[in-house]
Amino acid sequence: MLSYLIRRLILVLPVAFGVSVICFMLVQIAPGDPLTAIMPIDATAEEQAAMRAAYGLDKPLAVQYAIWIGNLAQGDMGKSIATGRPVAAEVFGAVNNSLLLAASAAVIAFPIGVFLGFLAGYFRDTWIDRAVTAASITGVSLPNYWLGIVLVIIFSVNLGWLPSMGAGPGGSQAWVWNWEHMRHLILPAVTLSVVPIGIVARTVRALAGDILTQDFVQALYAKGMTRMDVLWHVARNAAATALSVMGLQLGYLLGGSILIETVFNWPGSGFLLSNAIFQRDLPLLQGTILVLALLFVAMNLIVDVAQAAIDPRIQRT
């Protein structure tokens, strides 16, 4: 297991380097001038040149990348062009909020998806299977931003049960573990969990249905095992693949929540990223994309190690 972990850690290094290069280049080749938003319309050529020199945009791309990586190694992600604040403070504050939202959605989505999937797989080709399949397809097909708007209309506007915007009372962006802040989390977390519920349920249904038809299941029954013992063996055989799918969905919850965060005005990385795109804020764009990409790489590494711990056969591949 230790050698497998070391191999996976070594493979992460070139991936992380490639991610940094792609993040840097994608932002650089995007059209538009990032300094347009902060320079006066009547700025002289000398003032424009001084501003470019201040942000290091007058240097070749290779030199800019080397400086950027060197600063990153020291924990310096630069300063936002639009606000002048340190990028690291803005990015990590927003990522913490996105992690909270993604974790809350995962806590809702994964247990429900696994339960519905096993239920449909166990009662395959029955009305229960068809009902779960229909609900899963519906959940995956619904645009999550549209669902978020509908939930806001029902539970915030009409019923007045839950707040519709922000991460806390009065537009607070700092999270506090109390009921007032948790009320702001319910609607975006439920909205974000709908698609993963459908995907996990469909995946687990296919896995459980296939495993239940295999010969070893009948052998377990023949040995006198109870139904719960047999289902435990089925769950262990399905766990590795299901865990892989849930790991990918967790990455989706973290990085693909930009529309949900915009609908609910949730101060997460997606909301920050959308603002940085519109403001053409290069340092903030690069920092946000890089942190999200590295988090996705880290989650894949954790899932790979967890799969190997569950299924030792993976360690030999």
Element (H, E) at 47: helix 45-54
CA distances from 145 to 150, 164, 259, 264 (A): 9, 13, 6, 9
Q: Hey, which of 77-86, 97-106, 228-237, 239-248 has the most confident mean pLDDT?
A: 97-106
User: Is 46 a member of any domain?
Assistant: no
Question: Minimal CA–CA distance to 27: which of 289, 299, 301, 253?
Answer: 289
- On whether the CB atoms of residues 286 and 91 are closer than 8 A, the answer is no
pLDDT, residue 112, reads: 93
**Residues 191-250 pLDDT 10s:** 988 888 989 888 888 888 888 777 777 787 787 777 777 778 777 777 777 877 888 888
- Which two three-digit tokens encode residue 206? 């296919």
pLDDT, residue 216, reads: 79
Q: Once rounded to an integer, what is the mean pLDDT over residues 263-279?
A: 79
User: Which of 4-8, 136-140, 188-192, 237-241 is predicted least confidently?
Assistant: 4-8
Q: Once rounded to an integer, what is the mean pLDDT over residues 58-73?
A: 80
Return the exposure string of 248-259: e unless at least 16 CB atoms fall within 10 Å of the residue's CB, then b. bbbbbbbbbbbb
Query: Is 192 exposed, middle or buried, given 0-12, 13-18 or 19+ CB atoms closer than 10 A?
Result: buried
User: Is 217 a member of any domain?
Assistant: yes
**CATH number of the domain residue 136 falls in:** 1.10.3720.10
User: Is 103 a member of any domain?
Assistant: yes
> How sure is the predictor about 311, in pLDDT bands with cuts at 50, 70 and 90?
low
- Which two three-digit tokens encode residue 44? 């002289």
pLDDT above 70 as % of the chain = 87
Question: Minimal CA–CA distance to 93: which of 261, 272, 278, 256?
Answer: 272
User: Is 38 a member of any domain?
Assistant: no
Q: Once rounded to an integer, what is the mean pLDDT over residues 297-316?
A: 72
User: Is 47 a member of any domain?
Assistant: no
pLDDT, residue 253, reads: 82
Q: Once rounded to an integer, what is the mean pLDDT over residues 173-180?
A: 73
Q: Once rounded to an integer, what is the mean pLDDT over residues 53-73?
A: 77
User: Which of 18-27, 44-53, 183-192 is predicted least confidently?
Assistant: 44-53
> In terms of DSSP H, where are the helices of 29-80?
45-54, 61-73
| Domain that includes residue 123, residue range | 87-310
Q: Once rounded to an integer, what is the mean pLDDT over residues 77-99?
A: 81
Q: Once rounded to an integer, what is the mean pLDDT over residues 124-151?
A: 87
Angle formed by the axes of helices 227-255 and 282-310, nearest 10°: 170
pLDDT, residue 27, reads: 67
- Which two three-digit tokens encode residue 84? 């002048």
User: Is 157 a member of any domain?
Assistant: yes
CA distances from 188 to 146, 236, 246, 263 (A): 12, 32, 19, 9
Number of folded domains in the chain?
1
**d(Cα 197, Cα 144) in Å, to the nearest integer?**
12
Element (H, E) at 268: none
User: Is 67 a member of any domain?
Assistant: no
User: Is 21 a member of any domain?
Assistant: no
